[in-house]
Amino acid sequence: MYRHQRGFSLVEMMVGIVIGLLGMLVIGQVLSISQDSNRTTAAGSDSQQNGALALLAIERDIRQSGYGMNVSQVLGCQVSGTDTSNGRAVSFLFVPSRITQGLDTAPDVIQLTYSNANMITSPSALLQNMVTADSDYVVSNRFGYTVGDVLVTAAAGMTCDLTQITATPGTPYQNNITHASTARYHGSLIYPSSAQVFNMGRNPVSNRYSIVDGGLQMFSELTGEAMLIADGVIDLQADYGLNSDGDVGNTIDGYSTTPDLNGDGIISWDEWEKVMAVRVGLVSRSGKREAEIVTSNLPTWTGGTFSNVGNLSDWQHYRYQVFETTVVLRNMLWKPPT
C-alpha cells in the first residue's frame, strides 16, 4: 500500500511536461497562423476600402469638371491671381481636367476645375475697355452676379485673371461689377471690351490629386489647403479620352496621355475641346508586409503597367488592389456648339 502512495515518478512527470509543452506549442502555432491570417484579411480590407474611397473622390470631381466653362475658345487659358488672405499666388489652367504625366514611372497628377455657381453658367462680355486693373467690369448682363462670387476674365491672347466681386450696383439698370483689391482674390490685368467674364460661384473648385508619402492627397489650388484622401494608395495613372475626329456624336476614338493631336507641343483650345473623358487607374497596397513573396508581377490596368510599384522596397512582399474607371466629361458634352 505504501508503494502505491508515493505519487508520480520523475520520468512520468517529465513525460507529462513534454506532452503539455507540445500541446502548448501546437496551440501557439495555430493561434499565430490564425492571427496572421486575420491581419492579412484586415489589411486587405483596408486596402480595398482606401482604393475605393480614392477612386470615388476623383470620379466625383471628374463628373463635375468643366461646369461653368462652356466657351471652348478660352479653354487652356492660364488663370493667375493672388490670394490676399495669405499672399499666395494662385495659378491653374482653365480646362475641366488636366493630367500631368509623371516622369519615367512616377505617378501622374490630375487637376479638376469647375464652377459652383447656381444661377448662371454662361460668361458675360465686357462692354467697355478697362482703364486700370481695379476698374469695374461693365458687363453685358449682370444677372446672377453677387458679392463674394469668384470671377475668371478671359480675352484672346491674354492670361486669364482671377478676381472676386466686392460690390454690385444698387439699381437694376447698371451693369458695373466691382472687384476691389480688398477682395480675397485679386488680379492684375487690364482687359479690352469684348473680353469674357465667367462667374465661378462663391466656392469654385480646382483640386489637384497626387500621390504623396504613400497616400492620395488632394490640394485645393484656390484655398491652398491639402487633405489626405486615402492612405496606402501608391500609384495613380490617367489618360485622356479623345474625340479626335471631332464628330458630332462625340464618340471617343482613343486614349492618349496628351490632347496635343498635331504634336506641335502646344495644346490649342480646339484640342482641349476634343477631350471627352478621363480614364483613371490607381493601386492601393496592403499595410501588412508578408514574410514570403506574395506578388510576382507588377499590377496592371487597361492603360498599362503600374511600374512605380516596382520602385518600392520589398514590393513583392505586399498585396495590391487595382481600381480603374472611365468617366465622361458630361459638361463638355452639354456645352453649346462651337
SS (H, E, C) 12-51: HHHHHHHHHHHHHHHHHHHHHHHHHHHHHHHHHHHHHHHH
Residue whose C-alpha is closest to residue 314's, from 336, 285, 337, 334: 285
Same-domain check for residues 235 and 110: yes
Under a CB-based contact definition with an 8 Å cutoff, are residues 332 and 276 in contact? yes
Residue 137: name the closest of 193, 91, 73 by CA: 193
Give the pLDDT confidence score for residue 143 in this predicted structure.
87
Asked if residue 292 and residue 196 are part of one domain, the reply reads no
Query: Are 120 and 225 found together in one domain?
Result: no
Give the HSE-up count for residue 200: Cα atoms under 13 Å, Cβ half-sphere. Answer: 26
**Quick one: 199 and 230 in the same domain?**
no
Residue 37 is predicted with a pLDDT of 60
Q: Which of 150, 182, 203 is the last residue of a domain?
A: 203
Greatest alpha-carbon pair distance for the chain in Å reads: 123
In the prediction, which pLDDT does 209 show? 98
Q: How far apart are CA 59 and CA 335, in angstroms?
A: 20
CA distance 44 to 287: 8
- Mark the ranges of the chain whose per-residue pLDDT is less than 50: none
Domain end: 203, 225, 241, which one? 203
Residue 3 within a domain: no
The range of the structural domain enclosing residue 124 comes to 116-203
Same structural domain for residues 326 and 215?
yes
With cell 483613371, the residue in question is 280
Residue 81 lies in a domain: no
Residues 153 and 237 in one domain: no
Q: Residue 223's beta-bridge partner residues?
A: none
Q: For position 24, what pLDDT does the model report? A: 84
- pLDDT for residue 332: 87
Q: Are 231 and 144 members of one domain?
A: no
Say whether both 102 and 140 belong to one domain. Answer: no
Q: Of all residues in the chain, what percent are helix, strand and coil, respectively (each to 5)?
A: 25, 30, 45
Within this chain, do residues 213 and 110 fall inside the same structural domain, yes or no? Answer: yes
Looking at the DSSP bridge assignments, the partners of residue 322 are 283
Question: Is this model's pTM higher than 0.85 or not?
Answer: yes
pLDDT at 127: 94
187, part of any domain: yes
Report the length, in residues, of the chain.
Answer: 338
82 SS3 class? strand
Q: Is residue 83 assigned to a domain?
A: no
How many domains is the chain built from? 2
Q: Do 183 and 328 share a domain, yes or no?
A: no
What pLDDT does 151 receive?
97
Q: Kindly give the pairing relationship between strand 109-114 and strand 124-125.
A: unpaired
Residue 2's pLDDT is: 56
